[in-house]
Amino acid sequence: MQPEKSAPVDQKTKIFNLTLASVAGQVGCLTLLIIIGALFGGLWLDNRFDSKPMYTIGLLIVSIPISLGVMFFIVRLAISKIKTSQPQGNSDQKEVELGKN
């Protein structure tokens, strides 16, 4: 028996999948950096003003909408860069061949 050959993956599909993976990686890394920055910033402010959990908890809560905003910005920027190609023929003008088989 010969192993079945899988259908070749289209080049555009590969590029699209790599774009999605890079966007997901960017969003994940930036979210992590924002949360770590909020954590260390809050710990530093708590140590400086001697108010143990107040600034840390506050900055971590504030970092949630900031990371969501950054995520939406990056995704919208990536979507605007993705260009979809139109088929060669115009889909509005379909030619119908009658009587030819």
Q: What is the pLDDT of residues 29-65, one digit of tens each?
A: 999 999 999 999 999 999 999 998 999 999 999 999 9
Asked if residue 4 belongs to a domain, the reply is no
Query: Would you state the pLDDT for residue 62?
Result: 97
Asked if residue 86 belongs to a domain, the reply is no
- pTM of the predicted structure, to 2 decimals: 0.71
For residue 49, what are the domain limits?
31-81
Q: What gap in Å lies between CA 67 and CA 95, rounded to an integer?
A: 51
Helix (H, G, I), strand (E, B) or coil at 99: coil
Asked if residue 21 belongs to a domain, the reply is no
Q: Spell out the residues 6+ positions from residue 78 whose beta carbon is closer than 8 angstroms to its own.
A: 19, 22, 23
Query: Would you state the pLDDT for residue 12?
Result: 83
Domain count, the chain: 1
Asked if residue 44 belongs to a domain, the reply is yes
Q: Spell out the residues 6+ positions from residue 22 whose beta carbon is closer than 8 angstroms to its own.
A: 78
Asked if residue 73 belongs to a domain, the reply is yes
CB-based burial of residue 61 (10 Å sphere; 0-12 exposed, 13-18 middle, 19+ buried)?
exposed
